[in-house]
Structure formats: C-alpha cells, structure tokens
Amino acid sequence: MAIQIANQRPAVAGKTARVAEEVKSDRKSTLFRSFGASIKPLEVTFFVSQLSLMLEIGTPLSKSLWALSEQTANQAFRDVIRAMAREIEEGRQLSDAMRKHPRVFSSIFTSMVKAGEIGGFLKQILDRIVEIQQKRQALKTQLRSALTYPAVLCVVAVLVVTFVLVVVLPKFTAFFEGKESVLPFTTRFLMNLSASIKGYWWLYLLAIASLGLGFKLFKESQTGRALIDRLSLSGPIAGRLSSKIYTSQFLRTLGNLLESSVPLIESLEQTRGTIGNRYFRQFVERIAERVQQGGKFSQPFATYPYAPETVKQMVATGEETGSLPTVMLRLADFYDEEVERELKNLASMIEPLALIMMGAVVGLIVSSVILPIFKLASTVH
C-alpha cells in the first residue's frame, strides 16, 4: 500500500504542477489582454504551417498543439493554442476549438478545417490555408512597398517647406521690409504665411488635427464608406486595380473552399464575409441568390460591370465543364501576377511624379527668396 501511494505521488505532483502552470498561464493571458496584446497574421500562418508539418510526420493533434504552444513567443497566442489543446483532449474537433477564437481564426479557417476533418484530408487543408494567407500577405507587402516611397517624399517635402517658412524666410523679412511693392506675389504670400505660422502655429495644428479627425469620422460613417467603396471600384486609376484585387481575392477564396468540398452556398457565404467592399459584396450576394434559385453560377458575372471579360468567359467555361474550382484558382494566380505588375508600374509612375512635385515646391520657395534679392540689388545699383 505504501509503495502504491509512493508511485502515485509523482503523477499527482505532475498533475498539480500542470494545473498550476495553466492557472499561471491564464493569469498571464488576462494581463496581456489588459495591455492589448495582439496576434499577428504571420504568427497564425506560421502556426498553421508548423501544425501541418507535425501532422505529416504522424504526431497526434493534441500533442502537436502542446508542442507548438511551447514554441510560441506570443503569450496571448500561446494561451489560445493551449486552450485548443485542452478542447482536443476533451474530445472536440479542431474546427470547434478554432471557432471559439474568432479573432484569431476567421470563418474561412474553421469552414475549411471542418471540411478537411469530414473528408479526412486535414493536412492538405492546412497547407491550402497557408497558401491563402501567404498570397494575402504578399499583396499587402506589394501595396505597402508601392506607396511607401511617395509617402516618405510627401513627408519630407512638408518638413522642408515648414523649415524654410519658419526658420529661413524670417531672416530675410528685415531685408525685404518696406520694399513690398517691388516684391513678387509669391514672396509676399510666403512672408505672410511665415508670419501667420509663427504667430498662430497652435491654430494650424488644431486645424490639421480637426481635419484628420473629420476625415476619420467621415470614413467610418455609412456615407463615407459607401463613397470610398464606390470610388475604389469606379475611380480612373485605382478602380481597375481594385477590381482585379477583389476579383482575385474572391476567386482564390471561393476556389479553395470548393476544392475543400465545402458546399457552394456555404462557400459563397463564407467568401462574402471576407470582402471589405460593399458593392463587390452585394455582387457575391446576387450570385448566392441566383444559385439558391437554381440558376447558373456564371450568370451574374455577365452583367457585373467591374468583372474583367476574361473572368466572365472562363467562369462560364469552368461551370460547363465541371472544373470551376480549378479555373478559379488559375484565374486568381493570373490576376495576382497582373496586380503585382500594375503595382510596379504605378510605383514607377508615382516616384518621379512625387520628385517633380517636391522639386517644384522647393524651387518655388527658393526662387521667391533668391530672385527678389537680385532684383533689389540691381535696383540699388
């Protein structure tokens, strides 16, 4: 009896230590949430990729989750993975465990994982999820790289102009004083603007802050969001690019869901939730209504003005031949390359244009200061 009790002590101690660790983890999770800890999409993508690898080498699901939780540096994400591992140990499926964390795993995740669990190809589904996330991240990186350089140039231009108006130009004010009649209009305007900024700088800061706040409120309002969504599809330059981005996102998400054996109606509903533009989302809703009424999937494409003609023809062909998911994924790859090429072209056009504008502004300010000096010097002679 004593020997039996002695043998049970390590197990009880191990269990007690594990419970204590979980309590400590929960306290840390609460602390991290109170300070606004966030889980980045790249962390989720890496987790899914590692989970797929561990399943491929035959590691049980619950053991894989516990192992990955130990390798995760983000405390908030570690607690989410541990909570999922406990759900698996209690007999629940991975999709059910993911569904309890909607801020980390989207409905697309859970739907595809559910289909993989039912069909017995969970590992392949996880690889497909990683591919979707990598494509989206690549698109965000391309957009960011295309807009970073022009944004930096604009900030530098504003700083240079402000420095000249506040520091450089006031030193010439005494020299120009009393000679306003012979000064060009640009010089007089810049002198008045410089004096205004130095005297009422707080008013300018308040105006800039008010404009920023007003734009944010307008963007978050129903009218503002509707206008931005409309311009993003029908604008002269951004419209064509945005249409291709939304089309590629729609085709890739829907194609992957269909290839994962998710029913068409459910796939359309899940895909609709991933689209931010309300007008493109309404287009997806019309497709779902048409399919529910027994119509063809490709019919709404024929009347939608923002879908490229190539997509309309290929979708109709794919539906007739029964290879719609394959056609969608192939089209998504094609338009991803198109978007990347157009972003590079747009960046190559914006960069010299931004340089020219910056040079023109700085040149105007410098000429407004230097030319009057030569003009006054020639008058004195």
Q: Is residue 196 part of a domain?
A: yes
pLDDT of residue 318: 84
Token pair 């305007």 is found at 189
Structure tokens at 210: 């008010």
- How far, in whole angstroms, is CA 274 from its chain's centroid? 12
Does 235 lie in the same domain as 86?
Answer: no
CATH number of the domain encompassing residue 216:
1.20.81.30
Tell me how many helices (H) and strands (E) the chain has. 17, 0
Does pLDDT of 206 surpass 90? yes
pLDDT of residue 18: 43
Q: Which residue has the higher pLDDT, 129 or 35?
A: 129
Please tell me the total count of domains within the chain.
Answer: 2
Q: Is residue 7 part of a domain?
A: no
pLDDT of residue 213: 92
Give the rounded percent of residues in the chain with a pLDDT score beyond 70: 86
pLDDT digits (tens, 9 = 90+) for 79-106: 999 999 898 888 888 888 888 888 888 8
Amino acid symbol at 71: Q
Please state whether the predicted TM-score (pTM) of the whole model is above 0.75. Answer: no
3-state secondary structure of 35: coil
Q: Is residue 120 part of a domain?
A: no
Does pLDDT of 379 surpass 70? no
Closest by CA position to 47, among listed 77, 23, 10, 17 = 77
Closest by CA position to 368, among listed 148, 147, 176 = 176
Does 166 lie in the same domain as 98?
Answer: no
Which whole number is the average pLDDT over 214-220? Answer: 87
Q: Give the structural domain span for 201.
A: 132-381
Closest by CA position to 348, among listed 149, 96, 77, 109 = 149
Does 56 lie in the same domain as 189?
Answer: no
User: How many Cβ atoms are within 10 Å of 339's Cβ, its own excluded?
Assistant: 21
Q: Is residue 77 part of a domain?
A: yes
**Do the Cβ atoms of 145 and 273 come closer than 8 Å?**
no
Does 257 lie in the same domain as 302?
Answer: yes
Q: How far apart are CA 183 and CA 185, in angstroms?
A: 7
pLDDT interval class at 116 (50, 70, 90): confident
H or E stretch including 162? helix 122-163
Does 166 lie in the same domain as 53?
Answer: no
Residue 210 Cα distances to 67, 90, 155, 200, 204, angstroms: 50, 54, 19, 15, 10
Structure tokens at 88: 């698996």
Q: Is residue 256 part of a domain?
A: yes
Which whole number is the average pLDDT over 302-320? Answer: 81
**Do the Cβ atoms of 55 and 61 come closer than 8 Å?**
yes
CATH number of the domain encompassing residue 22:
1.20.81
Does pLDDT of 186 surpass 50? yes
Does 221 lie in the same domain as 354?
Answer: yes
Structure tokens at 233: 């599809």
Q: Is residue 119 part of a domain?
A: no
Does 63 lie in the same domain as 142?
Answer: no
The domain boundary, picked from 105, 140, 175, lies at 105
Does 371 lie in the same domain as 226?
Answer: yes
Does pLDDT of 66 surpass 80? yes
Does 81 lie in the same domain as 193?
Answer: no
Does 168 lie in the same domain as 272?
Answer: yes
Q: Is residue 115 part of a domain?
A: no
Q: Is residue 175 part of a domain?
A: yes
**Do the Cβ atoms of 225 and 219 come closer than 8 Å?**
yes
Does 195 lie in the same domain as 70?
Answer: no
Does 101 lie in the same domain as 146?
Answer: no
pLDDT of residue 377: 64
